[in-house]
Amino acid sequence: MKNDEVNSGIVLPLDESIDQNVFSLLKEVSACYEYYQKGESERTALACRTEAVVSLLQNRRKILIDFMNNKYGERKQLYSGYFQLLEKALETGNDQVVEIALESIYRLYSDSAFEGIDIVCEQYDKIDKVIKI
């Protein structure tokens, strides 16, 4: 008779405990998939943020290296010029020029090579804030 019921198109009610188990299983699968999707979204967002931070750090590094190269390049030229001036003044016996050259060398030496870097970093931070908006 069961075969007749199946063949006749009548759907037999399933056991209610089986329904609950299937429903629970589907619910768990759905929850796992949502958790997976959330994790994918978070990983993508983290990768984007990481890429942005790395890019900003690389730009800042370049700016600082350029600043130091320019600053030390200027100092190198100034030292070279002052020492050439000092040598000529010593050769000619010009005490006033010797004194000026030595004072200039001392002043240059006593100034921090990092002087002005705070202004550069401040301007860079303003650019960062604009980019983040």
What is the C-alpha to C-alpha distance for residues 30 and 118, in angstroms, rounded to an integer?
53
**Which domain does 8 fall in, by range?**
2-132
Whether the per-residue pLDDT at 99 is higher than 60: the answer is: yes
In the 8-state DSSP scheme, what is residue 1? -
Strands (E), 1-133: none
The pLDDT value recorded for residue 17 is 65
Give the count of domains, the chain. 1
Token pair 């405990």 in the structure block, residue: 17
Q: Are 84 and 62 in contact (CB under 8 A)?
A: no
pLDDT per residue as tens digits for the range 37-92: 888 888 888 888 888 888 888 888 888 788 878 877 888 888 888 899 889 988 99
pTM across the whole model: 0.47
Strands (E), 40-91: none
